[in-house]
Amino acid sequence: MRSGVTLMELLAVSVLVAAVGMVSLPLFQVLVVDIPRVKRAVDAHANLCDALRQVRRDVEEATGVVEADPTRAPPGHLLTVAHGVESVRYRLAAGQVIRERIGRDGRQVGPARTWPAPGALVGCRLLERDGRAVAVVVTTSVEVSQKGRRFKKLANTGVFFIGSCRRGGGTGR
């Protein structure tokens, strides 16, 4: 009886290890690359949904829309709605959605609220009836890159009616 391993046995084991490694390489890539990328996109989408809920509350309680035209607003501006003596402004900057309360003097009132959303794409437009804004359409999506190409994922659209939940007017919830 001889103890040890022959060269043929070592070659057979190394071929098997190489075959198992080649089969498991795509799984390893999914674990290391794809899952974190998808998690970042889902986290950004969840933050956008939270921001969208706040936009909905602000628009439904608004007395009017001050600005929602990106062609006339500063870069990154999304929407400004009037709330009595102050306005609420939304903008997209540095991978986050920012909500600021603005007083009549044009200065910020209180701290801004932010939602981190890297890769977020957000757009706002007004729906008008008889020359008067009646609703705001907000579209959101997250841009992800995969194999050198960029894709829009997790698209969402909300239509919010201006002043629909204001006390003394509107339809309520």
Q: Please compute the mean of the pLDDT values over residues 144-162 and round it to a whole number.
A: 87
For the chain, give the mean pLDDT.
84
DSSP string, 123-144: EEEEEEETTEEEEEEEEEEEEE
* Confidence at 36, pLDDT banded by 50, 70, 90: confident
Per-residue confidence (pLDDT) for residue 13, from 0 to 100: 93
Closest CA to 91 of 80, 83, 107, 102: 80
pLDDT beyond 70 at 109: yes
Domain ranges, ordered by start, for the chain: 7-161
Radius of gyration of the CA atoms of the chain, in A: 26
DSSP 74: P
More confident residue, 30 or 109: 109
Per-residue confidence (pLDDT) for residue 54, from 0 to 100: 93
Listed in sequence order, the residues at least 6 apart from 112 whose beta carbon sits closer than 8 Å to its beta carbon are 98, 99, 100
3-state helix, strand, coil in the chain (%, to 5): 30, 40, 30
| Threshold 0.85, pTM exceeds | no
